[in-house]
Amino acid sequence: MWNEFVGIRSEGVRHVVEQGAVRKFAEAIGDRNPLYLDEAAGRKSRHGRRIAPPTFPISLDYGSVPGFALPESGLIHGEQIFEYERPLYVGEEILCYGMLKEVYEKKARAGSMTFLIIERAGEGADGERIFTTTSSAIITEAVQKEIEG
């Protein structure tokens, strides 16, 4: 069911890393680091400008792959990893996209579990990758049966 979507990249979605969105995100997670909130502090830093918090990419849209959808209920979030080539700068334009990278199954006491490994990425205007997020979604056997009808 899921394997047919492995490796298909979504259409990219363009974003501007907007200062108001970065401020709201930083405040929502309780991280008032001046590098996220204060223009002067950003200019004085080694980055020369404000940056977004490392988990900010979770708030972005990565587009979709036609026909691929996660269950609306019963999905278990396994883990989330963020990898950066460089910081995400406030004010820059980025292109975000995602894909289902891998599908595998494990047996458990309560039945089988399907693991979906989803990779999302953001690129700068020069086409260079800035960040990659990898997450795992776990679908239990009961949810799988419900989806299949």
Please state whether the predicted TM-score (pTM) of the whole model is above 0.85: yes
- pLDDT tens across 32-52, in order? 999 999 999 999 999 999 999
Residue 32 CA to residue 50 CA, distance in Å, equals: 12
Query: Which residue spans within 45-109 are E strands per DSSP?
Result: 75-84, 93-108
Q: How far is CA 95 from CA 27, 64, 65, 78, 98, in A?
A: 24, 13, 16, 26, 10
Q: Spell out the residues 6+ positions from residue 18 whose beta carbon is closer than 8 angstroms to its own.
A: 90, 91
Q: Residue 137: what residue type?
A: A
Sheet containing 13-16: give its strands across: 13-16, 93-108, 111-123, 129-140, 75-84
Domain coordinates of the chain in residue numbers?
A: 3-17+60-148
Q: Is the pLDDT of residue 86 over 80?
A: yes
Q: What pLDDT was estimated at residue 111?
A: 81
- Answer for the pair 5, 100: CB distance below 8 angstroms, yes or no: yes
Q: DSSP assignment, residue 31?
A: -
Domain 3-17+60-148 fold is Thiol Ester Dehydrase; Chain A (3.10.129)
- Answer for the pair 31, 53: CB distance below 8 angstroms, yes or no: yes
Polymer length of the chain: 149
Residue 58 CA to residue 138 CA, distance in Å, equals: 18
Residue 25 CA to residue 15 CA, distance in Å, equals: 15
- pLDDT tens across 4-32, in order? 999 999 999 999 999 999 999 999 999 99
